[in-house]
Structure 1
């Protein structure tokens, strides 16, 4: 068996072994190139302008197809937003199974158009086609581009020793939002309707466009906690910035609806995919300003730790005060559940 994961994004070891040193021709215009755990790249246009560019797929399933177009835009555009710039341009590779109804295609594209228009994103190209072997509509790759001043960019590599780490919304946002739809019938045998509906609404929390726009001015680094959840997201920040961290587990809240869905599927909310959770680092003096502005926009946030010197290592303090090493997540537990064959409700 090779080093590929059973499902999900390749880990740092495989990335560095197979991809990192084989990136085609070198180009001096690349300010931020491919890095494991870094959301987007940056290309120098001139002294005061850089192009930020990202690429992301988007998966669907029957229970969430009526919201798929929304997800395509927000999941792809969020990777540019976390570098501190507004997403402006987008291309989409929309692949459809042969049984796709015309009305379904229209719904997906109308949602893409609506969300792009709402966030001032222009679709400038892409590919749309019908192909066998695809179980549900799939965004094979959405490319998003934005522009900003190089000195204002906020990649994970910019985290500084002494920075506080702020988390928005909570853990396992994407896992909860998607799995609450996928397993709604099963959840109803355990939990009340109000809790399940709250979990399903987390689907539309799978975006950091607003979070990042609010926080970028006062942050050093920002990162979208996608595969591997907040634990992996924090670890990726430390690896990119060559720093350590101290995370306080008792300061990470797990809202009831998130706890319910994760418990039902036996997945760890701290290591499950959490598109929509913004992890940012900032000087201690900026925390109040950032959190106050987030709260004004109805976005919850918590200070969950701090950035430390690299020699201190990556640490997480359990609720009993025990200190352990914060390790990268090898395989996100969400994917096994996502692709598991079960009745769609």
Structure 2
């Protein structure tokens, strides 16, 4: 297991994957390393109408994903809660279905005040209403030994038509590889807001880096892309960044991705902030960045729809037969350890 961050593929395959409980026919997509969500499919169901007649409803798919609740008080509780909520929504959003339900478990540190929690929960409520997401169950308590930023966990769900599910392992040879927003969005947004006073960079550059904070959600990217064309796979670039997402998508789909750095959009302030914090932008966590495989005839349509929504995106390469990832003609491996965590620990000592 890596010292910090998610477990690597070797640990997953040895310790987790062999032990997944009972096998059920309704689980059509189970746990895989580097795959964002699972899918349960239910057969046709009956539904009561307002006139008390019964109508038959088609098959139903439930995409589900579980993540930590990540709250950084130093961001301010409202901004911290906005980010935490969108992290929870992002993994089911890349299923191609719209997020619909949320189950929440808060294991809070003893020092959190009622007012601070109220700010977190009001923000969750506001963002959930924007996305038409309902909170269906949960658990809330203060416990000794619980500390920021990991203050519990939550399971998000997206309910819809099985035919609309975009499988994370569905990339097809011939597809175009698209990417929104570019590298290190989350690393830049979090580090620059947390350590603004330590950044020895021009004021304009620091402000640009801080502005990346509200780019840290791929939920809208995924919705727009799924509606705009034939998307065969989506994956958000979390730990391991863009290079991690590329290798995970290639491995999950059993294909080769051939891409170019020069065609990747890079947002203002990112490269300068990554250089200051001494992290590799291509290997650094980038929540908000969405990687897509799209049918070649639909690539321009998806890019146009994203552009119309003000979301930067680029056609960065092609899906081919084979395995692995080539960037600018050179094979790359998964970064394994995300440099964000080390930089965060280092700069916390200087505050």
TM-score normalised per structure 2: 0.91
Equivalent position of 1:57 in the other structure: 68
Say whether the 8 Å CA contact 2:193–2:210 is kept in structure 1: yes
Equivalent position of 2:213 in the other structure: 203
| 1:246 pairs with one of 248, 255, 258 | 258
Equivalent position of 1:45 in the other structure: 42
Matched, 1:11 2:19: no
Q: Cα distance, 1:149 vs. partner?
A: 2.0
Q: Cα distance, 1:78 vs. partner?
A: 1.0
Q: Deviations over 1:173-219 (max 9, x none)?
A: 111111011110011x3222x32222222111111111111101321
TM-score normalised per structure 1: 0.93
Pair 337,172 (structure 1): closer, same or farther in 2 beyond 3 Å? same
Equivalent position of 2:31 in the other structure: 34
Equivalent position of 1:327 in the other structure: 333
| 1:153 pairs with one of 145, 151, 165 | 165
Equivalent position of 1:320 in the other structure: none
Equivalent position of 1:336 in the other structure: 342
Equivalent position of 1:316 in the other structure: 327
Residue 286 of structure 1 aligns to a residue whose secondary structure is helix
Equivalent position of 2:48 in the other structure: none
Matches within 5 A, 1:256-275: 256-275=268-287
| 2:249 pairs with one of 237, 252, 275 | 237
Q: Cα distance, 1:343 vs. partner?
A: 4.9
Whole-Å Cα distance in 2 between the matches of residues 253 and 267 of structure 1?
Answer: 18
Equivalent position of 1:84 in the other structure: 96
Matched, 1:124 2:136: yes
Residue 15 of structure 1 aligns to a residue whose secondary structure is helix
Residue 128 of structure 1 aligns to a residue whose secondary structure is strand
Whole-Å Cα distance in 2 between the matches of residues 21 and 76 of structure 1?
Answer: 26
Q: Cα distance, 1:102 vs. partner?
A: 2.1
Q: Deviations over 1:298-342 (max 9, x none)?
A: 10101111111015x42111xxxxx21121121111112233433
Q: Cα distance, 1:65 vs. partner?
A: 3.7
RMSD, aligned CA? 1.5
Q: Which runs of 5+ in 2 are unaligned?
A: 45-58
Say whether the 8 Å CA contact 1:173–1:273 is kept in structure 2: yes
Which sits farther off after the overlay, 95-104 or 273-282? 95-104
Say whether the 8 Å CA contact 1:233–1:279 is kept in structure 2: yes
Whole-Å Cα distance in 2 between the matches of residues 150 and 17 of structure 1?
Answer: 31
Matches within 5 A, 1:127-146: 127-136=139-148, 138-146=150-158
Whole-Å Cα distance in 1 between the matches of residues 310 and 101 of structure 2?
Answer: 27
Q: Cα distance, 1:137 vs. partner?
A: 5.2
Count how many residue pairs are aligned between Structure 1 and Structure 2.
Answer: 333
